[in-house]
Amino acid sequence: MTTDPAPPEPRQGPRVPPSAQAPVPPPPRWAVRAAHVVAWSTVPSGVWRVALVLGVPVGVMEREEFLAAFPDNSPLIALAYVLLIGAVAEAASYLTLGLVRPWGEVVPRWIPLAGGRPVDSRLAVLAASLGALTVTVLWWVLFFGGLLTGPSPDPGVSAGEALFVAAYAPLLLWGPLLAAVTWSYHRRHRRACTRL
């Protein structure tokens, strides 16, 4: 009795990650612009703080008054602190660009251990949402809310106060624009998943 060989099983190709199966649509132009505004929103306040430490008259606070908060009134420690605060703020705001750039889809290859792996969009949305909430509360409620409700020494606005407000006002855009760009990122990735 002869038996027919079993039919070959259908070949299955290599597993393709979902991001390769359903391409994520490009970000809308408004989201790209908003992400760039967020990335630049922290620069004016950083420049203002550096100017304060370097002794440039900024009108709201004197350099000596600021330095009194540091050990030995050290300008080096104050400058290091200001530069660190600026670097952290810049790095955090710059991450918004990842929501509209390819490195928000796949980790760049030059990053050790994670390079080349797809970005988990759910974690990116969670982190960006928490970031948007945090900076909104920080700048809208704590900082500017405190300025508006605090006692004012005089009813007028000096040139120094106007400069201060101009330097820090862009930070009010950070939270709401980050939330909008995060929403756009979430929608684009959700659409890509529903196409699978």
- The tens digit of pLDDT for each residue in 78-89 reads 888 888 998 999
In this model, does residue 11 exceed pLDDT 60? no
Amino acid at 66: F
For position 113, what pLDDT does the model report? 86
Closest CA relative to residue 187, chosen from 99, 92, 107: 99
For position 143, what pLDDT does the model report? 74
* Residues 32-69 pLDDT 10s: 999 999 999 999 999 998 888 888 888 777 778 888 88
How far apart are alpha carbons 27 and 188 in whole angstroms? 7
CA dihedral sign, ordered 86, 92, 96, 97: positive
> Which H or E run contains 43?
helix 43-54
Q: Which residues contact 39 (CB under 8 A, 6 or more apart)?
A: 93, 94, 96, 97
Percent pLDDT > 90 in the chain is 39
Average pLDDT of the chain to the nearest whole number: 82
For position 160, what pLDDT does the model report? 79
In eight-state DSSP terms, residue 118 is B
In this model, does residue 92 exceed pLDDT 60? yes
In this model, does residue 183 exceed pLDDT 80? yes
C-alpha of 131 from chain center: 7
Q: DSSP strand E in the chain: where?
A: none
